[in-house]
Amino acid sequence: MITFEDVTKRYRDGTVAVADLSLEVPTGAITVFVGPSGCGKTTSLRMINRMIDATSGRITLDGQDVREIDPPTLRRGIGYVIQQAGLFPHRKIVDNVATVPYLLGWSKRKARARAMDLLELVGLDPGLAGRYPFQLSGGQQQRVGVARALAADPPVLLMDEPFSAVDPIVRASLQDELLRLQSELRKTIVFVTHDIDEAVKLGDTVAVMRVGGRLAQMAGPATLLTEPADDFVREFLGRDRGIRRLSFISAKEVRLRPAPSDLATDEDGRPLGWRTANGLAAYGTFTPETDSLRAALDAALLSANGTAVAVDEEGRVRGVAGRDAIDELLAEYAPPASGGSGEGSSGDGSSEEAPA
């Protein structure tokens, strides 16, 4: 666990980048620092690996004050990924990834073997190992940056806007890849972004910061969307909060009823459309086991008759859910009565998360 205890950073020119920041970063989970430009996210992150030293207060790593650990030792246990990957331009990809193992004195053979394993782990073609960074796309370079940070298998990973320089589609796939990796590796990750959508997608916990490096709210994404602590957080979360929080509710519990005869299916039981006098009409599907309530609602909205078609992983019809069944589940996850529509609520961030 990483803890910030009343941490303040005042730069030489008097700028207070971080003020009295206290929070806990749990082990083995992703904690996202999010907030507007200049709110002190990067400063907070860099105080963890002592690229910047706090002016006052204390940061501990597994109970030990980071100021008592000499920076090279500290950084060996902390991977660091930055925007645009920050690769060495004159080193081949394999040697970029092997940077830390080389520094640790590993043999070239062992370091390169580790690098090749990591390239595969982050989903890169090992054939790219002999190239130079400029010969890779932005998304590929970013994956190399992640592989390099993982090279010495550090328990902690600091990621500073790692995906912000790539286009939205590549960005989404890098985010998915990070979640996949994390489900295997269970690192303690601190991830900085100014993008609230990225924050709620990736974070097990999200710390929303306001300018001056003050913590506005720290909570799981579902709680944040349901119970923003104040107007600043509410505005920062933006519109669509109600819809977006549905992503954190599983569709598993949606009550299904048997598919009616007007749902046409092929011989394997896969849906073809709703029978109407004018032929087959549009339908939308969701997979209860793996999808969220947002996907179920989307499927209902895409269906010509407002009824979502539930399918199994092979795409075969399992049943259907009307809006009534979706609304029924929605009611169970309604925001707390005290918060009403969320306006004026003052969640303390300690509520239980809805099951994912």
Ligand X SMILES: Nc1ncnc2c1ncn2[C@@H]1O[C@H](COP(=O)(O)OP(=O)(O)OP(=O)(O)O)[C@@H](O)[C@H]1O
Q: Can you give the binding site for ligand X, defined by CB under 6 A? A: 11, 13, 15, 17, 35, 37-43, 194
Q: How far is the CB of 332 from ligand X (least distance, A)?
A: 37
- DSSP string of 137-206? -HHHHHHHHHHHHHTT--SEEEEESTTTTS-HHHHHHHHHHHHHHHHHH--EEEEEES-HHHHHHH-SEE
Tokens standing for 352?
A: 């239980």
Q: How far is the CB of 160 from ligand X (least distance, A)?
A: 8
* Closest CB to ligand X among residues 43, 307: 43
* Closest CB to ligand X among residues 11, 88: 11
Q: How far is the CB of 253 from ligand X (least distance, A)?
A: 39
> Edge-to-edge, what's the strand order for the sheet holding 279-281?
263-265, 271-276, 279-281
Q: How far is the CB of 290 from ligand X (least distance, A)?
A: 34
* Closest CB to ligand X among residues 67, 194: 194
Q: How far is the CB of 235 from ligand X (least distance, A)?
A: 17
Going by C-alpha positions, the residue among 51, 46, 50, 57 that lies closest to residue 23 is: 57
Amino acid at position 17, single letter: A
* Closest CB to ligand X among residues 12, 239: 12
CB 292 within 8 A of CB 249: yes
CB 70 within 8 A of CB 77: no
Amino acid at position 49, single letter: N
* Closest CB to ligand X among residues 37, 278: 37
* Closest CB to ligand X among residues 8, 265: 8
Strands 308-311 and 285-286: parallel
Q: How far is the CB of 274 from ligand X (least distance, A)?
A: 48
d(CA 139, CA 116): 18
Give the CA radius of gyration of the chain: 24
* Closest CB to ligand X among residues 39, 151: 39
* Burial of residue 116, with CB atoms counted within 10 A of its CB: 0-12 exposed, 13-18 middle, 19 or more buried: middle
Q: How far is the CB of 81 from ligand X (least distance, A)?
A: 15
